[in-house]
Amino acid sequence: MATEQPVTPTEEQLEILEYHFCKVNKHPDPTTLCLIVAETGLSEEQTLKWFKQRLAEWRKSEGLPSETGSVRD
């Protein structure tokens, strides 16, 4: 059984991911996600995993629980 090795995004891919996280949306919709995947060359799963981890980091830095649902009211 071949297991997929985790891919570390390149500096350019990280810049694209950070831009979208900070300037566009911390919770990308499916259309935006497709655009990010096309722009970075990462898989959808890798991109979603990066956003999930980055969101947890951001929530922790803001003093919020890392795994709590959205507080959009």
DSSP string for residues in 30-56: HHHHHHHHHHH---HHHHHHHHHHHHH
* 3 state DSSP class of 4: coil
* Cα 59 from chain centre: 13
Q: Where are the chain's structural domains?
A: 12-59
- Assess contact for 17 and 54: CB atoms under 8 A: yes
Residuewise pLDDT in 10s, the chain (73 residues): 555 566 788 999 999 999 999 998 899 999 999 999 999 999 999 999 999 999 999 988 888 876 665 554 3
Report CA 65 to chain centroid distance, whole Å. Answer: 17
Superfamily of domain 12-59: Homeodomain-like (1.10.10.60)
Q: Rounded distance, CA 11 to CA 3, Å?
A: 25
